[in-house]
Structure 1
Amino acid sequence: MTDEDVLQDHAHRRVVRIGDTVRRPVQPWTETVHALLRHLEAVGFPYAPRALGIDGEGREVLSYIDGESGRLGWAKVVGDDGLAAFARLLREYHDATAGFTPPDNAAWAEGATASADGEVVCHGDFGPWNVVWQGQQPVGLIDFDFARPAAPLHDIAYALQYVAPFRDDTECTHWLRCPRPPDRRRRLQRFCTAYGLPSTAGIVDAVIREQRENAERVRRLADAGHEPQAAWVAEGYLLDLERKLAWSQTHRHLFG
């Protein structure tokens, strides 16, 4: 039997490493995501895993990217250099999706979505936990389950929730690895500049809107029986999202 190194073992998903590959459960959108990964490979985007097909146990097979990710990613974006590298990675990814043509039977986690002018294929879950780091440099971007055609601002706003961050001081210092309460306005500006935005106008509103839409997205996926969203809702996660949204609305002056 081939040795399996368990990377994630939840009731809804078991992810393992076998040699230089990662094996994950197939989802309804896996075929579409694999088409996206093949496009990224073809255009020379070096940070995405390679789609290697389906194994004999019905799991998707991806190339393994060596480095630190998951909870270890939070410390990487605390400093200015890491924050800027994180933003540049998102811009490089968005640029690399240009010209991608989804398959005719494309399926996304958010449902059927046709691309419109000005849209990219958003990653959909662009947070420090889904970036692979070696030292202070990002070397990989993983977990494309929530990729979907959308305006780039969706990914930008989603990421800024966590790295500006739109969180209270206690969460910043206890959970997000910040050594002290952050200068949120400066960090928001730093991210936007590194991404290549001409200004931060409208960004705070976009983040608050994304927080509201994210709560609705979790509720919708939970109602459809998707995991881990169903478990999150059962555990009261929606109340936590509503609390964070209320904090952002009350403290928007901290961001500019």
Structure 2
Amino acid sequence: MSGTFDDAGLELLSDSLRVVGRIGSTVVRRTGWWSPAVHDLLAHLERTGFAESVRFLGLDADGNEVLTWIEGVSGERAWAQVVPEAGLAEYARLIRRYHDAVQDYMPPADREWMTEAHGLRVGEIITHGDVGPWNTVWRDGRAVGLLDWDQAGPRPALHDIGYALEYAAPFRDDAFCLDHLAHPAPPDRGRRMRLFAAAYGLDSVDGLVDAVIAQQETTLANTLRLAARGLHPHAEWVAGGFAAAQQARIDWSRANRHLFA
């Protein structure tokens, strides 16, 4: 199978410049220096029976990776799935199931990750790294899939938790929540953070606001670094003003931490 844009039956999926498209029940995506590490991770998840990850099927004739397609609601439409409290709890449990699946995973020491230039350290797991609602797949209120593993890498589990909470608590002002995140009313952020933490299995929410801010800062630094290497779509994001927008989000999180008590 070839994954070029000239293929008959190729359906382009999104504006991500890393995505080639869908062919039937498979997704064809471009690869990078991090891809062998991700392929090892996906093989581990398949061996351990983590049903919600895509499966790596190999490389096509053009060197693109071929992955399984997970049917359901994802992308922009998945945002609304984490707004109800039942969906929020389901989202947290999905992330916990993934973290449990990689708790004992030891990747090959020579693998390179997209953003992490070190091996697995004490207290770290291989986090997903981009576990926003848009990378989840839903059917009938159940989280059945986790997509886009490019940013996986060795980090504390709190990185994924903070990343998810930024969008699920969420760490945005009321107007943005109503206009863009499918909230019918201003969210009770503290309640949502406590519900997420309990569903994930945390004993308290202590340190979670700081975890969100830390991953926001990490996201800014990593995006700038990848853009400087000419990686797409990061270079386009930075050219479009990402750095200033991300710093504004960090500043908002610091100034409004009282909303999450």
Fold match by TM threshold 0.5: yes
> How far apart are the structure 1 equivalents of 2:155 and 2:213?
17
What do residues 191-249 of structure 1 show as CA deviations (whole Å, max 9, x unaligned)?
A: 11100011111111221222222211211111121111111110001111111111111
User: Could you tell me which residue of structure 1 aligns to residue 84 of structure 2?
Assistant: 79
User: Could you tell me which residue of structure 2 aligns to residue 171 of structure 1?
Assistant: 176
Contact 2:163–2:212 (Cα < 8 Å) also in 1? yes
Contact 1:108–1:147 (Cα < 8 Å) also in 2? yes
Of residues 117, 123, 143 in structure 1, which corresponds to 2:128?
123
Q: How many residues align?
A: 255
> How far apart are the structure 2 equivalents of 1:127 and 1:20?
23
Query: How do residues 139-218 of structure 1 correspond to structure 2 at under 5 angstroms?
Result: 139-218=144-223
> How far apart are the structure 1 equivalents of 2:149 and 2:122?
22
Contact 1:119–1:149 (Cα < 8 Å) also in 2? yes
Contact 1:106–1:112 (Cα < 8 Å) also in 2? no
Task: Extract unaligned runs of 5+ from structure 2.
Answer: 1-6
Confirm whether residue 6 of structure 1 aligns to residue 12 of structure 2.
Answer: yes
Contact 1:90–1:195 (Cα < 8 Å) also in 2? yes
SS in 1 for 2:138: strand
Confirm whether residue 134 of structure 1 aligns to residue 128 of structure 2.
Answer: no
**CA shift in 2, pair 1:17/1:156, >3 Å:** same
Confirm whether residue 233 of structure 1 aligns to residue 238 of structure 2.
Answer: yes
User: Could you tell me which residue of structure 2 aligns to residue 93 of structure 1?
Assistant: 98
Runs of 4+, deviation exceeding 4 Å: none
Contact 2:106–2:120 (Cα < 8 Å) also in 1? no
SS in 2 for 1:61: strand
> How far apart are the structure 1 equivalents of 2:193 and 2:110?
38
What do residues 17-70 of structure 1 show as CA deviations (whole Å, max 9, x unaligned)?
A: 111111000111111101100100000100001110101122100011001100
User: Could you tell me which residue of structure 1 aligns to residue 249 of structure 2?
Assistant: 244
Alignment identity in percent? 47
SS in 1 for 2:166: helix
User: Could you tell me which residue of structure 1 aligns to residue 62 of structure 2?
Assistant: 57
